[in-house]
Structure 1
Amino acid sequence: MKKFLTLLLTLVLVLSLASCGNTSTTEPTNNSITYLSLDGWDETVKGGINDLFDMYGKNSEGYDPDLKPYAVFDFDNTISILDIEEALAIYQLEHLRFAMEPQEMEEVLLTGIPKDKVQVSLGEDYRSSSNKDLTIATVAKDAAAAYKKLYDAGYVAADNSLESKKEEWLKTDDWKEFSSKMRWMYSAIGDTMDVSVSYPWITYWFTGMTPEQVYALATESHQFNLSEAEAGKWETREFAGPVNYDSLAGPLSISYKYPVGISEEMKELISALDDNGFDVWICSASFIDVIKAAAMQPELFGLKGIDGVVAMESKLTDGVYDNVYNYDAHPQTQGLGKSETIEKVIMPKYNGRGPVFTAMDSQGDFNFCSEFKDTAVNLILNRQRSDDAGLLSVAAVYQKEKGIDLASAQESGDTLFLLQGRDENKGILLPQAECINLGKTDALLFSDKAQSWYEMLQSGQYKTIGDMINDCVNITGKLAQYDGYKTK
């Protein structure tokens, strides 16, 4: 009996050890990682991001589910194709969704405009139809006067309660005057003034509205614009003022890009990051409720797995938005302010670590996509830029041609830069680095300026891409100063 029990115990012990041994040596399988697979990705982009999933994702060595790696995305022209805030502005104008009293409008439209710019000519690109100089003060007065007429006619509301009258007001000269001059001012301010003026200016259109009203308006706009995108209505449109309307500036016309969409590949990327154990953040220069409405309703817009949003904010007074930027929350989320906001709001949640993945398209994203030491991969949506975003596009193409992958980029202390092309005429990503801008037919890699920077890098004028990026102040002239590549 003792021999039998001894044999039995020995057998149980052997089986237990075998079971433990099998458990400890099991490796994660590829099935446990969600890889990018859609056809619209450039193969180098797809490979670089899939390498990121392996190197930093939930099956990687040292992964801590309590302190996840995280990604930070710009939204406009990065997650979206074209600009979601600009699309909302068009929707807001067409649907007359405002909460300001008529006597408030002119003051709001001049909010943040430097005093020395209010009465100064906007230059030859923004003259009247009769070739006269124009000022923001003049056009703001015209827009406010037309707004009062629309308001007094019972056409203006913060909600959609007057929607049944839309076709009626769209036929009026008052609406044509108001809409054309509001959108004209947006372009003029953006082209002639600092971004610290133009970026918050458009958000002051929400003055007097509650956060819930802005969120509802944004949701409606996003649903409408995404349906237009799915219908393939990608084009440039125009607001034109009425010719014989009594005004100071005369009739003005302004074009805008239409509509806005989100590619299936971008939805796949954000979902894959979430599936693979990354947190996902958005840092946008658009208004906070506008971005939350798109980012936090996956059932409507397909963006699954976004953990947080930081974006432009206005102060609240008695529960409604005032035309005052909320610096108590964080700096303006554009340019250097994006890096500063990440440092203030996001990094403390991750023990001071920076993002391992960033995504961008333009100058306003350059700082946060180049300054953090922890950033392993930076995705650039190609728009043939002539600014510092173009400089990072040059870095991406240079690395691609040198065969540099994520592992070799890290060995040299670099971020892996990835350049993704798209066709704005169809609202899709292209499996290449070249892009086709709206209204164009040729797929191009660089702007002329970026091409010259690429030739500088190829010629050996800069020993490393880091040297080139650190010389951005001299190369592009877009920044007065730069803290440095991978210094934060």
Structure 2
Amino acid sequence: MQRRQFLNRLAAVSVSSTLLLKSGIAEAASSGPVTAPTLDPARWSPLNARRLQLVLDQHGVKSKQYNAKQRPYAVFDWDNTCIMNDCEEALLMYQINHLQYKLTPDEFVAVMWKDVPRGQFIKDYSTVDGKPVTMEDLAADVEADYRWLYANYKGLAGSMSLEEIQTSDQFQDFRAKLYFMYDAICDSHPLEVGYKWIIYFYKNMSTAELQAMAEASNNLAIGDALRKVKYQSPKTLPGKAGVVTATHFHGIRIHEEVRALMHALRANGIDVYVSTASIDDVVRVFASHPNYGYGVPPENVIGLRLTMQDGKYTDSYKAGWHFNWGPGKSVGIRNELVAAKGYGPVLVAGDSDGDAWMLRDFADTSVGVIVNRMKKGEIGADSKLAAEQVGNPQARFILQGRDEHTGLMLPDEKSLKYGKTERKLLA
């Protein structure tokens, strides 16, 4: 009871402090020098903490150049930047494990084939005995599994409990092969195919239904261990495709340093936006729900979007809406933010090729923050520039390390990959 009362008092003080902070900034703007909170260095690399504080000082309310009518802003990627791991991929596994679909078997098959090329996947996606896998064979097996599950699971059209269903060979086959299909589509074809495909399975759901499922998935993943699990389809049910194995990285962690940076930016008069290659309504749950503490207004999340019909999602991508990944994230920032404000973001944060362009495309950007996953490709080029600028107090790019075993940031530019024992700076 005492602990609960203490926490309630603490929450009240936090709310009061926020209100006082806002009024204090307003008063200071008219009566004297402005004061604003500094960044908590926490587990930031010390060099990065200083670089980020300089951004707050040079562009926030303490700056003589600050104009409240032209508020500066920052843009953050979400998955593997604001959190450890990917909330939409976690939702894919959650949706599979709980069979939360509002699709008849025929609708499921139509969604599964939506915009996906036929033929053989790349050689990395083969059976456990090394035989090639085609979309046709894999889809036939998943279709047969879903038809059986639909007829037998009480949450769809049958009478078996979820616990009973999950012990069946059909469920084990469905989970392994559908997740294998997602990975194979993403790696065998342009990412736009796979990233849109994953959200088509929300067809016939309302926004409230999707967001309730996303919240349940988030909560489960936050409480789960960080672990990579291999799911193998049963040998007793090889089907047309054969026996395959898929791997999912379970668990999500909140990056407290990023969350605190968002609060420090806003307290210093700098607005915060999120640009994601997930559907924006899923990320809004994490970025905007008070339970997670990031405080991003829902309207400040830019992501993928589906056409709505009668208040439900369809399996059609929103006409005229850009694909918000890679160069498309820069398109989204230009169309949604620069067009309205007349200037680009002062800070951009990301972790992968999907963020590489927005990290470097805007002349107004003072610093690009890269959560260091030691990747190659486009983000590898940005990471190399960051490595060359370590120690530069005005660095255009900075690398921030983390430990993938714990999900915690490290006070270092180097990161520790899951399953490894040595920190590294670059791939």
TM-score, normalised relative to structure 2: 0.89
1:156-235 residue pairs with structure 2 within 5 A?
Answer: 156=155, 165-228=161-224, 233-235=225-227
1:63-82 residue pairs with structure 2 within 5 A?
Answer: 63-82=66-85
The separation in 2 between residues aligned to 1:443 and 1:50, in whole angstroms, is: 25
The separation in 2 between residues aligned to 1:214 and 1:74, in whole angstroms, is: 21
Q: C-alpha deviations, 1:94-133, integer Å up to 9, x for none?
A: 111111110122221111123xxx1x22132112234322
Moved over 6 A (4+): 22-25
- Distance verdict in 2 for CA 1:62–1:157, change over 3 Å: farther
Partner of 2:16: none
Does the Cα contact within 8 Å between 1:236 and 1:439 map onto a contact in 2? Answer: no
Residue 377 of structure 1 and its aligned partner are, at CA, apart by 1.0
The separation in 2 between residues aligned to 1:224 and 1:59, in whole angstroms, is: 41
Does the Cα contact within 8 Å between 2:169 and 2:236 map onto a contact in 1? Answer: no
The separation in 1 between residues aligned to 2:45 and 2:258, in whole angstroms, is: 13
1:108-147 residue pairs with structure 2 within 5 A?
Answer: 108-114=111-117, 118=118, 120-147=119-146
Q: Please tell me the residue identity of whatever aligns with 1:113.
A: V
- Distance verdict in 2 for CA 1:141–1:395, change over 3 Å: same
Residue 226 of structure 1 and its aligned partner are, at CA, apart by 1.2
Q: C-alpha deviations, 1:247-282, integer Å up to 9, x for none?
A: 211222111111111121111111111111111110
Secondary structure, in 3 states, of the residue corresponding to 1:66? helix
Partner of 2:271: 279
Partner of 2:230: 238
Does the Cα contact within 8 Å between 2:283 and 2:301 map onto a contact in 1? Answer: yes
The separation in 2 between residues aligned to 1:304 and 1:245, in whole angstroms, is: 47
Q: C-alpha deviations, 1:285-320, integer Å up to 9, x for none?
A: 01111101101102x112124461010111112322
Residue 23 of structure 1 and its aligned partner are, at CA, apart by 10
Does residue 1:291 correspond to 2:294, yes or no? no
Does the Cα contact within 8 Å between 1:280 and 1:305 map onto a contact in 2? Answer: yes
Does residue 1:399 correspond to 2:405, yes or no? no
The separation in 1 between residues aligned to 2:72 and 2:30, in whole angstroms, is: 25
Partner of 1:36: 39
Secondary structure, in 3 states, of the residue corresponding to 1:294? helix
Secondary structure, in 3 states, of the residue corresponding to 2:70? coil
Which 5+ residue runs of structure 1 have no aligned equivalent? 1-21, 410-415, 448-488
Does the Cα contact within 8 Å between 1:129 and 1:251 map onto a contact in 2? Answer: yes
Tell me which moved more, 362-371 or 240-249.
Answer: 240-249
The separation in 2 between residues aligned to 1:149 and 1:246, in whole angstroms, is: 15
Does residue 1:88 correspond to 2:94, yes or no? no
Q: Please tell me the residue identity of whatever aligns with 1:379.
A: V
The partner residue of 2:259 within 267, 278, 285 is 267
Q: Please tell me the residue identity of whatever aligns with 2:53.
A: N
Q: Percent of pairs identical after alignment?
A: 31
Partner of 2:338: 347
The separation in 1 between residues aligned to 2:95 and 2:187, in whole angstroms, is: 22
The separation in 1 between residues aligned to 2:301 and 2:349, in whole angstroms, is: 14
The separation in 2 between residues aligned to 1:444 and 1:130, in whole angstroms, is: 34
Secondary structure, in 3 states, of the residue corresponding to 1:124? coil
The separation in 2 between residues aligned to 1:24 and 1:302, in whole angstroms, is: 31
Which 5+ residue runs of structure 2 have no aligned equivalent? 1-27
Does the Cα contact within 8 Å between 2:127 and 2:245 map onto a contact in 1? Answer: no
Secondary structure, in 3 states, of the residue corresponding to 2:131? coil
Does the Cα contact within 8 Å between 1:150 and 1:156 map onto a contact in 2? Answer: no
Does the Cα contact within 8 Å between 1:241 and 1:251 map onto a contact in 2? Answer: yes
The separation in 2 between residues aligned to 1:246 and 1:49, in whole angstroms, is: 54
Q: C-alpha deviations, 1:378-429, integer Å up to 9, x for none?
A: 10000001111111111112112xx4223xx6xxxxxx21110000101100
- Distance verdict in 2 for CA 1:25–1:341, change over 3 Å: closer
- Distance verdict in 2 for CA 1:50–1:249, change over 3 Å: same
Does the Cα contact within 8 Å between 2:262 and 2:272 map onto a contact in 1? Answer: yes
Does residue 1:256 correspond to 2:248, yes or no? yes
The separation in 2 between residues aligned to 1:24 and 1:35, in whole angstroms, is: 21
The separation in 1 between residues aligned to 2:380 and 2:79, in whole angstroms, is: 17
Does the Cα contact within 8 Å between 1:274 and 1:305 map onto a contact in 2? Answer: no
TM-score, normalised relative to structure 1: 0.78
Does residue 1:426 correspond to 2:406, yes or no? yes
Q: Please tell me the residue identity of whatever aligns with 2:370.
A: I
Does the Cα contact within 8 Å between 1:96 and 1:155 map onto a contact in 2? Answer: no
Q: Please tell me the residue identity of whatever aligns with 1:238.
A: K
Does the Cα contact within 8 Å between 1:155 and 1:169 map onto a contact in 2? Answer: no
Q: Please tell me the residue identity of whatever aligns with 1:248.
A: K
The separation in 2 between residues aligned to 1:156 and 1:203, in whole angstroms, is: 21
The partner residue of 1:440 within 420, 423, 426 is 420
Secondary structure, in 3 states, of the residue corresponding to 2:68? coil
The separation in 1 between residues aligned to 2:416 and 2:307, in whole angstroms, is: 39
Secondary structure, in 3 states, of the residue corresponding to 2:273? strand
Partner of 1:473: none
Q: Please tell me the residue identity of whatever aligns with 2:72.
A: P
Q: Please tell me the residue identity of whatever aligns with 2:150.
A: Y
Q: Please tell me the residue identity of whatever aligns with 1:222.
A: N
The separation in 1 between residues aligned to 2:176 and 2:409, in whole angstroms, is: 32
Secondary structure, in 3 states, of the residue corresponding to 2:337? helix
Secondary structure, in 3 states, of the residue corresponding to 1:324? strand
Does residue 1:335 correspond to 2:326, yes or no? yes
Residue 24 of structure 1 and its aligned partner are, at CA, apart by 8.4
Does the Cα contact within 8 Å between 2:33 and 2:62 map onto a contact in 1? Answer: no
Number of aligned residues: 398
The separation in 2 between residues aligned to 1:334 and 1:203, in whole angstroms, is: 14
Does the Cα contact within 8 Å between 1:200 and 1:325 map onto a contact in 2? Answer: yes
The partner residue of 1:370 within 343, 356, 360 is 360
- Distance verdict in 2 for CA 1:444–1:320, change over 3 Å: same
Does the Cα contact within 8 Å between 1:106 and 1:141 map onto a contact in 2? Answer: no
- Distance verdict in 2 for CA 1:335–1:305, change over 3 Å: closer
